[in-house]
C-alpha cells in the first residue's frame, strides 16, 4: 500500500453523515457568510467535502458553475435525489479533477478531518488556477476531542501551512485583509453553542524559495532612564575593584 493510499484510508474513518434530514434553508445558514465572500469573477467553484450538495446547489442558484466532491457514496446519491446536483466521489487528498480546473475552492469543516493537511492543501492547489482562491472554514480548538478530527490547527499553524503549501493569505483571523470584505476579520460565531469557526481566504501563488531560519527574535527597546543608569555606572567600577 502506497503512502498516499494509507493517508486516504486513515482520513476515511467512519464519521457522521453530512446530509441528514435538515432542510436546505437551515443547512445553508452556517455556510452563507463564507459563500457570499466568493466574487462573481471566480466563476468555476469546487466545494470540497460537499456533503449532500447543499452548498453546490446554493452556488448554482447564484449563477456560479459549481461542482462538489465527497468520499461518501450515500451523499453522492442524496445530492442527486434531494437537490438535483451531480457530485463526484473522491478523497480530499486525491481529487478526480485535472490541474488548474477551478477559479475557487471552498472547503468548510473539511481540513480538520485530514491526517495530512499539507498533502491535502497541495492537492487543492493543483486543481486551482493561478491566482485562484481557496476559502477554508475551520473549527476552533474545542473541537479537537472529536474522534474524527485529526488536524484542528491554531491560527498560527494554519497561516504558516498555507504559505508553505503555495498560497498567499488574503484574509483570516487576526489578519489585516488584503482584499475588500464587508467585515475586516472573517472570524465568525455560529451562535449555536458549538463554539467558533475561523475563515481563511488564500490565493494560489508561485512558490517562493525559502531560506532556512531559526526564527525571529523580537528585541523590545526599553526607554533608558538616565539618572538611574548614571548611578549604576558610578557604583559599578568601585564595586568591581572592591570585589577583586
| CATH classification of the domain holding 63 | 3.40.50.150
The pLDDT value given to residue 15:
55
pTM for the structure as a whole? 0.78
Q: Which domain holds residue 94?
A: 3-211
pLDDT, one tens digit per residue, over 30-78 is 788 889 889 999 999 999 999 899 999 999 999 999 999 998 899 999 9
The pLDDT value given to residue 176:
76
Domain assignment of residue 242, yes or no: no
Domain assignment of residue 234, yes or no: no
Cα 232 from Cα 228, distance rounded (Å): 6
The pLDDT value given to residue 192:
41
Given the DSSP bridges, would you call strands 88-89 and 65-70 parallel, antiparallel or unpaired? parallel
The pLDDT value given to residue 188:
62
The pLDDT value given to residue 228:
73
Residues in the chain, pLDDT under 50: 190-194
Domain assignment of residue 238, yes or no: no
The pLDDT value given to residue 237:
66
The pLDDT value given to residue 167:
96
Start-to-end Cα distance in the chain = 71
Domain assignment of residue 230, yes or no: no
Domain assignment of residue 165, yes or no: yes
CB 138 within 8 A of CB 112: yes
**How many domains, the chain?**
1
Domain assignment of residue 240, yes or no: no
Cα 66 from Cα 79, distance rounded (Å): 13
The pLDDT value given to residue 85:
94
Cα 55 from Cα 46, distance rounded (Å): 10
Domain assignment of residue 222, yes or no: no
Domain assignment of residue 163, yes or no: yes
| Residue 179 burial by Cβ neighbours in a 10 Å radius (0-12, 13-18, 19+) | exposed
Amino acid at each position: 500500500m502506497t503512502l498516499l493510499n494509507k493517508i486516504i484510508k486513515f482520513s476515511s474513518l467512519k464519521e457522521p453523515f453530512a446530509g441528514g434530514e435538515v432542510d436546505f434553508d437551515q443547512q445553508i445558514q452556517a455556510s452563507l457568510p463564507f459563500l457570499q465572500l466568493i466574487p462573481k469573477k471566480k466563476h468555476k467553484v469546487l466545494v470540497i467535502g460537499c456533503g449532500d450538495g447543499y452548498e453546490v446547489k446554493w452556488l448554482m442558484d447564484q449563477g456560479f458553475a459549481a461542482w462538489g466532491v465527497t468520499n461518501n457514496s450515500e451523499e453522492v446519491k442524496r445530492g442527486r435525489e434531494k437537490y438535483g446536483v451531480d457530485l463526484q466521489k473522491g478523497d480530499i487528498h486525491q481529487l478526480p479533477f485535472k490541474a488548474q480546473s477551478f477559479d475557487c475552492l471552498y472547503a468548510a469543516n473539511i481540513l480538520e478531518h485530514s491526517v495530512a493537511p499539507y498533502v491535502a492543501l497541495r492537492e487543492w492547489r493543483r486543481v486551482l488556477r493561478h491566482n485562484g482562491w481557496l476559502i477554508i472554514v475551520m473549527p476552533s480548538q474545542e473541537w479537537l476531542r472529536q474522534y474524527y478530527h485529526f488536524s484542528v490547527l491554531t491560527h498560527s499553524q494554519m497561516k504558516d501551512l498555507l504559505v508553505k503549501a503555495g498560497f498567499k493569505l488574503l484574509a483570516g483571523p487576526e489578519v489585516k485583509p488584503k482584499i475588500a470584505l464587508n467585515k475586516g476579520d472573517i472570524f465568525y460565531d455560529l451562535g449555536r453553542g458549538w463554539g467558533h469557526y475561523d475563515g481563511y481566504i488564500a490565493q494560489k501563488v508561485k512558490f517562493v524559495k525559502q531560506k532556512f531560519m531559526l526564527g525571529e527574535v523580537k528585541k523590545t527597546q526599553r526607554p533608558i532612564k538616565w539618572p538611574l543608569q548614571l548611578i549604576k555606572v558610578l557604583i559599578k567600577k568601585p564595586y568591581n575593584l572592591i570585589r577583586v
